[in-house]
Amino acid sequence: MTKTAARIEGIDILRDGGTIMFKVVRDRQTTAVILRTPWEGKDVRTLAIGGKRPAPGDPDVGRLLADIDEWWNAFPAEQQTAALKALSHKGAFRDASPAMLEAIAASRVLAVREYVKKNYEEAPSD
């Protein structure tokens, strides 16, 4: 059986201050990803992949990052540029066009990728 390309669907951000949710779809399997908003002013966020909380270095983290990278690499350069611009934007987006709304959604997935790479990609060394 050949593997299908990863798709990311249902990208959303909650009004709780920044919880990001989306689904990774690959080979007829859907995996929910949730990165919860930080609490009490701390930059610590809870990650859930498929309903489980992975530890740094967990194989699920590696698969998530590979799926996000595969999805991202399939984007045309123009859409990548718009998503990176949205990722670096501070403040509210006003009167966003449909193309900008897509870029904003993609930037949320990129924000998860950055956080996961920084905090979950490798197991802590002793």
Domain residue ranges in the chain = 7-119
The CA distance from 82 to 43, in Å, is 26
Structure tokens at 119: 């905090």
For residue 89, name the pLDDT band (cuts at 50, 70, 90): confident
Q: Tokens 């060394």 sit at which residue?
A: 125
- pTM for the model stands at 0.89
pLDDT tens digits, 99-122: 989 999 999 999 999 999 999 988
Query: In this predicted structure, what is the pLDDT of residue 91?
Result: 75
pLDDT tens digits, 18-62: 899 999 999 889 999 999 988 766 777 899 999 999 999 999 999
Question: What one-letter code names the amino acid at 110?
Answer: L
Question: Which of the two residues, 44 and 9, has the higher pLDDT score?
Answer: 9
